[in-house]
Amino acid sequence: MQTLEKEIRPSRFTAAKMKWLLILSVIGPGIITGTADNDAGGITTYAVAGASFGYKMLWILLIIAFILGITQEMGARLGLVTGKGLAALIRENFSIKITTFVVLVTFSANWANVLADFAGIASVADIYGVPRYVAVPIAALLIWLIVYKGSFKLVQKIFLTSTVLFLSYVIAGYMAHPDWSAAVDGIIRPTMDMNTAFFYTAVAMIGTTVTAWGQFFVQSYYVDKGVSSEFMKYSRWDIIAAAFWTSLVAFFIVIATAATLNVAGVTIQDAGQAAMALEPLAGAFAKHLFAWGLLNASLLGLAVVAMTSSYLVTEAFGWEGRVDLKKESPVFYGLFTFCVFSTAAAILIPGLPLVQIIVGSQMLNTFVLPVLFIAILVLLNKKKLMGKFANGLFANIVSWLSVAFIVIMASMLVVMTFMPGSL
């Protein structure tokens, strides 16, 4: 009996070890995509929500986590089953007009999103007295070198390390000494202020997380990584973990600003202002945590979104576009280079209408999301394409309800932007 136990234990240990190695080999795309959603624009949105409305909007994070999980799982499943990116599937299954519309609008929105991330970097530079004309080019060159010179494994390791660094917001949230009972109440008891500002912020919280670029990136990154449908179970855990982590970080950003800026009656317009305002209220360390978190988020966001633009165009036109195939992917790297350095140059232009450009990107995202999600659901219901992984009745009901909610909220954002007195 003892001999048998000695033989069994190593095998069980080895099996468990192999399972964890297998899980670790699959995870990454979901967590990276979800975390990158909390880029400079996302952090600004959550900071404004906490500063303006305290703990009232925390319940929206539950909706965001659910919708993010649903939509990202849809994209991941398409990629794992077909072995193709979303743009390639749209090109193969829909008209050239639809493909062209999706590519042009998403690429334009992505460019503006990368610009917003450089704005985040510039804000951090301003906090520490570093000239923007020094900080922005250095950041652009650093990101370009990582992706252009690095292997897929190196790029993923850096991205995953970046996601861990978002812990700075968790720490900042604790340091702000929030009212935990009010925070819990804000989660479990939905409340709304019936005014345009509240609804605009609520819609922006969802819109900054559920994006067109996120759908393209998560699917393309799984394909680039070579993950197949036999690992579907593990990819879903990756997506679930991403939805949880993304919403958790957002939660601590909201409570950090709610416990300090909202209580003090301080109003802000961006995350850089939030970091500066935290110092007299929560201490210098809290300010540094918030500022360095913004820098980290901006660097991750601009790298991921710029890569998404490269995936988008190369897939749509049937060109090679993989991180490890540098010589075979000249268009991929050419587009990545253009996105990074053109936005870096643009952010340094004096008098650039940055707010208008960022708002414009939100509008573009609004216009493309309905088309994109309908196309995804059509693809997911094709038995010949998806086989046993095609949507069933329950999946369709949940998916269509989620998409309908996104479209309604996005439409509200358009209405409130152009007709601010409509509520």
Domains (ranges, CATH) in the chain?
A: 37-418 (1.20.1740.10)
Phi, psi dihedral angles at 38 (to 5 degrees): -85, 55
Measure CA 292 to chain center. Answer: 18
CB atoms < 10 A from the CB of 84, how many? 18
Whole-number Cα distances in Å, 131 to 125, 134, 210: 6, 5, 33
Question: What are the pLDDT tens digits along the chain (423 aa)?
Answer: 444 344 445 555 565 555 555 555 566 677 777 777 777 778 888 888 888 898 999 998 988 888 888 888 888 888 889 988 888 999 999 888 888 888 888 898 889 889 888 988 888 888 888 999 999 999 999 999 998 887 777 887 887 788 878 888 888 888 888 899 999 999 988 887 767 778 778 877 887 778 888 888 888 888 887 777 777 778 888 888 888 888 998 999 899 889 888 877 777 776 677 777 776 666 677 778 878 888 888 888 888 899 999 999 998 888 887 776 777 788 999 999 999 999 999 999 887 776 566 656 666 666 677 788 888 999 999 988 888 888 888 888 988 888 788 777 767 766 766 666 555
Task: Fill in the DSSP letter of residue 318.
Answer: T
| Sign of the torsion formed by the C-alpha atoms of 357, 367, 53 and 120 | negative
The pLDDT value given to residue 419: 66
- Radius of gyration of the chain, Cα coordinates, nearest whole angstrom: 22
The pLDDT value given to residue 335: 93
The pLDDT value given to residue 145: 92
The pLDDT value given to residue 5: 42
- CA dist., res. 94 & res. 76, Å (int): 20
The pLDDT value given to residue 135: 92
Task: Fill in the DSSP letter of residue 387.
Answer: G
The pTM score is 0.84
Return the HEC string of the chain.
Answer: CHHHHHHHHHHHHHHHHHHHHHHHHHCCHHHHHHHHHCCHHHHHHHHHHHHHHCCCCCCHHHHHHHHHHHHHHHHHHHHHHHCCCHHHHHHHHCCHHHHHHHHHHHHHHHHHHHHHHHHHHHHHHHHCCCCHHHHHHHHHHHHHHHHHHCCHHHHHHHHHHHHHCCHHHHHHHHHCCCCHHHHHHHHHCCCCCCCHHHHHHHHHHHHCCCCHHHHHHHHHHHHHHCCCHHHHHHHHHHHHHHHHHHHHHHHHHHHHHHHHHHHHCCCCCCHHHHHHHHHHHHCHHHHHHHHHHHHHHHHHHHHHHHHHHHHHHHHHCCCCCCCCCCCCCHHHHHHHHHHHHHHHHHCCCCCCCHHHHHHHHHHHHHHHHHHHHHHHHHHHCCHHHHHHHCCCHHHHHHHHHHHHHHHHHHHHHHHHHHCCCCC
The pLDDT value given to residue 306: 92
At 115, list the tokens.
């610009």
| Sign of the torsion formed by the C-alpha atoms of 20, 300, 44 and 358 | negative
Nearest Cα residue to 85 out of 311, 239, 309: 311
The pLDDT value given to residue 58: 92
Residues ≥6 apart with Cβ < 8 Å to 64: 205, 206, 209, 210, 246, 247, 250
